[in-house]
């Protein structure tokens, strides 16, 4: 641990002082006395002074001590940010205490449960020194989490007070109580800044925890809590820097430093199993293709959940590029993308046949599909003599047929090869893979089909965009056919039919435009029917109806 | 009287559409077409004079061909006359 003479002591004191203020404020709310009031307001002056002393020491140390390295400077900067926020928290407590005099009856505040809020605050204040001194990421994130907790508690009080105001009594006390709880909410904001400062001191860069938290809460409320891995987290980080690639020019002879290249990181949290799996996958990818995937900065496990900080890779996702970039850039990106895919497939190719389970994958996601679109289950039908199988029957029979099919070799696949899981960095002329928790040794047709359908399902219907999407599909499909030919893979068209049927069907669960979802559902059933009707027995002779790929 | 309805909405290629149309035209021969889903079935008895409309539309690359046959049964709710078989 790095120590700074005097500064560490001062910092420890300000943390302890603010903790004391929190306890004193709690006591005051329980039982207000003049003595306690005076103690809290007087202590605030001491905290203000302490903050000024710490700030001065931070600035002078940074300016005068030229021997400090980046890490040490970052720690000093973190101390400065933390002490500013600690002083704010102390101010909020003083404000809470001062507000109490406006209550008609000082025990009025006891109608509301503030104990949980104090517990949250005291727990976090008590974790600051440990998190900072021992560079404990888990504790730092724990501190950050005070913010959504206090927000949620504030919302409960806010709603209740608003209701009570509506009744027309105790207006002054109710408004005062609202102000008091608002200060608790602001303590949460300051604690978040402190947690982020500790993370900054470890990583040397800022991450945005609060958007993640807000997103997580929204998702939990929407019933998505168990499927974080299916959510596109990048959406919340805003547009990637360098994404407007039309404006990015390679600077001649000027290399970006690693610090410049890293412009942030992504915080991911999810079930322990998924996060662990992603870490394993990233590590395996990095061993063979170091620049292809993000670096992991931090990982921690807590109560069955895993959290990970990964490098935020510059560039834009392929979908962003295809939809907004110039033709020339798109061609260039696809060339680099295909070269990368070819290299990964060729390097990791193992000549051992592998069983596929495309229908099994589809069945596993069927409930999700039917939850969004209950209509996407076909009952058996007859049109005169012509028989139409139910979707269930069709899937069951196709699953049986799939048992007689295998891929002639395996490659290390991405596992969730959606177009938005590929990042293109024009400046570096490189692509990166992200969201890798499903990577495994498997049939390359899995990645190929997911990539093709992720293009197809982009909900853009104007001719210009559609032409562009169709061009990408056509080019990539041509590439896959070439790879299959080159490696003597004679059943790839049949496997592609199974895999496309799977992806079309399962993609509907994320598509709320019913007409478009229906389009994909119908395509899936069409493919399943073609598979079912294929009675040749020799899958090498199966011909994929390629029109299925184009909208 | 409750409306009976049958819908089959799918994606097909020309060959399978031909098969479905052939199955329906067989029904015209027999004087009975049964359309069923699971347990619900509609039995239609095309006979006598029927309105027959064919519409075609082309706009850009979008095409539509609709074939409509409309008629009224001479009795109400009766079974098809035994000029043909009912296939279920």
Domain ranges in chain B are 14-70
Please report whether residue A252 resides in a domain.
Answer: no
Q: What is the β-pairing status of strands A422-425 and A430-433?
A: antiparallel
Residue A141 has pLDDT above 90, yes or no: no
* Best to test chain A binding among B14, B25, B36 (most A CBs inside 10 Å): B36
- The pair of structure tokens assigned to A254 is 């000027």
Contact B71, B48 (CB under 8 A): yes
Residue A270 and residue A334 in one domain: no
From chain B, the residues in CB contact with A497 under 8 A are: none
Domain that holds residue A450: 317-549
The Cα–Cα gap between A542 and A551 comes to 22
State whether B34 and A382 contact (CB < 8 Å).
Answer: yes
CA-CA distance, A274 to A549, in Å (whole number)?
Answer: 31
User: Strand A316-317's sheet: what is its strand order?
Assistant: A316-317, A422-425, A430-433
Give the least confident one: A72-76, A398-402, A529-533. A72-76
Give the 3-state secondary structure of residue A388.
strand
A256 conformational bin, left if phi > 0, alpha if psi -120 to 50, beta if neither: beta
Q: Are residues A304 and A321 in the same domain?
A: no
> Does A256 reside within a domain?
no
A266 and A179 both lie in a single domain: no
**Whole-number pLDDT of residue A102:** 93
pLDDT band at A311 (very low <50, low <70, confident <90, very high): confident
H/E segment holding residue A60: helix A34-64
What's the whole-number mean pLDDT along residues A85-95?
96
- Range list of β-strands (E), A303-443: 305-311, 316-317, 354-355, 381-383, 386-388, 406-407, 411-413, 422-425, 430-433, 440-442
Q: Average pLDDT of chain B?
A: 86
Q: Where are the beta strands (DSSP E) in A173-293?
A: 265-271
Q: Please indicate, yes or no, whether residues A282 and A388 belong to a single structural domain of this protein.
A: no
Quick check: A498 and A524 in contact, CB under 8 A?
no
Give A386→chain B minimum CA distance, Å: 6
| Cα–Cα distance measured from residue A83 to residue A51, given in angstroms and rounded to the nearest whole number | 6
Query: Which band of pLDDT confidence, cut at 50, 70 and 90, is reported for residue A68?
Result: confident
Q: pLDDT for A202-234, tens place per residue?
A: 776 565 554 455 444 444 444 444 433 343 333
Phi/psi at A437 (5° precision)? -75, -10
State the smallest CA–CA distance between residue B63 and chain A in angstroms.
14
- Measure the CA–CA gap between B16 and B11, rounded to whole angstroms: 10
Q: Which of A20-24, A88-92, A464-468 has the lowest mean pLDDT?
A: A464-468
Using a CB-CB distance cutoff of 8 angstroms, which residues of chain B are in contact with residue A525?
Answer: 10-11
Contact A395, A506 (CB under 8 A): no
CB-nearest to A383 from B9, B20, B38 is B20
CATH number at residue A275: 3.30.200
> How far from each other are the two terminal CA atoms of chain A, in whole angstroms?
59
Answer yes or no: do A530 and A461 share one domain: yes
Task: For chain A, give the mean pLDDT.
Answer: 86
Strand A422-425 relative to strand A316-317, pairing:
antiparallel
Nearest to A336 by CA among A471, A475, A452, A441: A475
According to the model, what pLDDT value does residue B81 have? 66
**pLDDT one-digit tens code per residue, A410-437:** 999 999 999 989 999 988 899 999 889 8
In terms of Cβ atoms closer than 10 Å to its own Cβ (0-12, 13-18, 19+), residue A133 is middle
Distance from CA of A157 to the nearest CA of B (A): 52
Tell me, yes or no, whether A168 lies in a domain.
yes
pLDDT digits (tens, 9 = 90+) for A436-448: 989 999 999 999 9
CA-atom Rg of chain B in angstroms: 15
Q: Could you give the CA distance from residue A458 to residue A327 in angstroms, rounded to a whole number?
A: 18
* Out of A89-98, A205-214, A534-543, least confident range: A205-214
- Helix, strand, or coil here: A145? coil
**Which pTM was predicted?**
0.65
Identity of the residue in A382, A525, A529 whose CB atom sits nearest the CB atom of B36: A382
- Is B67 within 8 Å of B53 (Cβ atoms)? yes
The mean pLDDT value for B41-69 works out to: 93
Residues B16, A383: C-beta atoms closer than 8 Å: no
At A523, list the tokens. Answer: 């395509």
CA angle A298, A15, A88 (to 5 degrees): 95
Query: What is the spatial distance between Cα A414 and Cα A504, in angstroms, rounded to a whole number?
Result: 19
Tell me, what DSSP letter sits at residue A104? S
Give yes or no: residues A266 and A330 share one domain. Answer: no
What is the rounded CA–CA span in Å between residue A264 and residue A241? 10
**Is there a contact between A529 and B36 if contact means CB atoms under 8 Å apart?**
no
Q: Give CA A359 to chain center in angstroms.
A: 28
Q: Within this chain, do residues A388 and A522 fall inside the same structural domain, yes or no?
A: yes
Nearest to A526 among B11, B35, B41 (CB): B11
Q: Which residues of B touch A388 (CB under 8 A)?
A: 8, 10
Same structural domain for residues A392 and A412?
A: yes
Single residue among A294, A311, A328 that ends a domain in this structure: A311
A386 and A498 together in one domain: yes
Dist CA A488 CA A478 (whole Å)? 15
Record the tokens describing residue A12, joined without a space: 């420890």
Query: Which residues in chain B (18-57) have CB-CB distances under 8 A to chain A?
Result: 19-20, 22-24, 26-27, 33-38, 41
Asked if the Cβ–Cβ distance from B23 to A385 is below 8 Å, we say yes
How much is the pLDDT for A435? 87
Count of all residues that appear for chain A in the document? 551
CA A470 to chain centre: 29
Look up residue A115 and give its two tokens: 């104990």
The number of angstroms, rounded, from the C-alpha of A71 to the middle of its chain's C-alpha atoms is 27
- Taking Cα atoms as reference points, which of A72, A84, A85, A82 lies closest to residue A3? A72
Cβ of residue A537 closer than 8 Å to a chain B Cβ = no
Beta-carbon contacts below 8 Å between A and B: 52
- Tell whether A385 lies on the interface with B, counting CB pairs under 8 A: yes
Over the stretch A164-189, which tens digit does the pLDDT of each residue have?
Answer: 999 988 999 999 999 999 999 999 99
Chain B hits for A527, CB-CB cut-off 8 Å, are none
Tokens 């991405």 sit on residue: A414
pLDDT tens, position by position, A16-47: 999 999 999 999 999 999 999 999 998 998 89
Cβ–Cβ contact A381 with B under 8 A:
yes
- 3-state SS, residue A289: coil
Contact list, B35 vs chain A (CB under 8 Å)? 381-384
Q: How many domains does chain A have?
A: 3
Q: Is A305 in the same domain as A391? A: no
Same domain for A432 and A385, yes or no, is yes
pLDDT at residue A304 is higher than 80: no
Given a contact cutoff of 8 angstroms between Cβ atoms, the answer to whether A27 and A36 are in contact is yes
Query: For residue A189, what are the contacts with CB-CB under 8 A and spacing of at least 6?
Result: A147
> Are A326 and A280 within one domain?
no
């Amino acid at each position: 641990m790095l120590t700074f003479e005097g500064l560490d002591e001062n910092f420890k004191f300000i943390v302890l002082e603010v903790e004391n203020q929190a306890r004193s404020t709690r006591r005051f709310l329980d039982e207000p006395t003049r003595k306690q009031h005076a103690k809290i307001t007087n202590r605030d002056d001491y905290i203000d002074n302490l903050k000024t002393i710490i700030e001065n020491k931070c600035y002078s140390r940074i300016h005068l001590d030229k021997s400090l390295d980046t890490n040490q400077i970052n720690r000093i900067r973190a101390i400065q940010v933390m002490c500013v926020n600690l002083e704010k928290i102390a101010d909020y407590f003083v404000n809470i205490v001062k507000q109490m005099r406006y209550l008609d009856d000082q025990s009025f505040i006891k109608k509301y449960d503030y104990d949980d809020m104090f517990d949250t605050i005291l727990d976090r204040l008590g974790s600051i020194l440990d998190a900072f001194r021992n560079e404990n990421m888990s504790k730092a994130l724990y501190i950050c989490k005070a913010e959504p907790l206090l927000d949620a508690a504030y919302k409960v009080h806010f709603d209740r007070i608003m209701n009570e105001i509506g009744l027309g009594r105790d207006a002054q006390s109710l408004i005062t109580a609202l102000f008091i709880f608002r200060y608790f909410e602001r303590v949460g904001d300051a604690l978040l800044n402190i947690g982020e400062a500790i993370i900054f001191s470890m990583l040397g860069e800022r991450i945005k925890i609060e958007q993640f938290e807000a997103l997580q809460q929204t998702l939990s409320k929407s019933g998505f809590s168990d499927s974080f891995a299916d959510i596109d987290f990048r959406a919340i980080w805003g547009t990637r820097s360098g994404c407007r690639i039309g404006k990015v020019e390679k600077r001649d002879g000027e290399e970006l430093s690693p610090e410049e290249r890293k412009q942030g990181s992504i915080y991911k949290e999810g079930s322990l199993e998924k996060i662990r799996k992603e870490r394993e996958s990233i590590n395996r990818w990095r061993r063979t293709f170091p620049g292809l995937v993000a670096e992991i900065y931090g990982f921690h496990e807590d109560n069955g959940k895993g959290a990970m900080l990964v490098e935020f890779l510059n560039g834009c996702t392929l979908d962003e590029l295809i939809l907004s970039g110039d033709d020339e850039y798109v061609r260039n990106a696809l060339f680099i993308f295909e070269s990368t895919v070819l290299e990964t497939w060729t390097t990791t190719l193992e000549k051992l046949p592998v069983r596929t389970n495309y229908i099994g994958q589809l069945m596993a996601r069927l409930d999700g599909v039917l939850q969004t679109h209950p209509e996407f289950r076909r009952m058996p039908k007859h049109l005169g003599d012509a028989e139409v199988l139910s979707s269930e029957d069709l899937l069951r029979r196709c699953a049986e047929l799939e048992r007689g099919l295998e891929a002639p070799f395996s490659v290390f696949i991405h596992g969730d090869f959606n177009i938005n899981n590929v990042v293109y960095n024009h400046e570096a002329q490189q692509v990166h893979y992200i969201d890798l928790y499903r990577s495994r040794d498997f049939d390359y047709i899995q990645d190929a089909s997911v990539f093709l359908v992720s293009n197809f399902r982009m909900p853009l219907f104007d001719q210009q965009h559609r032409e562009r999407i169709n061009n990408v599909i056509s080019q990539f499909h041509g590439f896959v056919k070439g790879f299959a030919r080159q490696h003597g893979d004679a059943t790839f068209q049949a496997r592609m039919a199974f895999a496309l049927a799977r992806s079309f069907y399962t993609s509907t669960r994320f598509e709320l435009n019913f007409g478009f979802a229906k389009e994909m559902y119908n395509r899936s059933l069409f493919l399943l029917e073609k598979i079912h009707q294929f009675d040749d027995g020799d899958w090498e002779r199966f011909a994929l109806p390629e029109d299925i790929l184009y909208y | 009287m409750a409306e009976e309805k049958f819908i089959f909405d799918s994606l097909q290629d020309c060959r399978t559409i031909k098969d479905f149309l052939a199955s329906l035209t067989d029904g015209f021969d027999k004087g009975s077409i049964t359309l069923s889903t699971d347990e619900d079935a509609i039995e239609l008895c095309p006979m006598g004079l029927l309105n027959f409309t064919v519409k075609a539309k082309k706009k850009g690359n979008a095409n539509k061909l609709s074939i409509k046959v409309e008629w009224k049964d001479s009795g109400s709710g009766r079974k098809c006359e035994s000029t043909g078989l009912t296939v279920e």
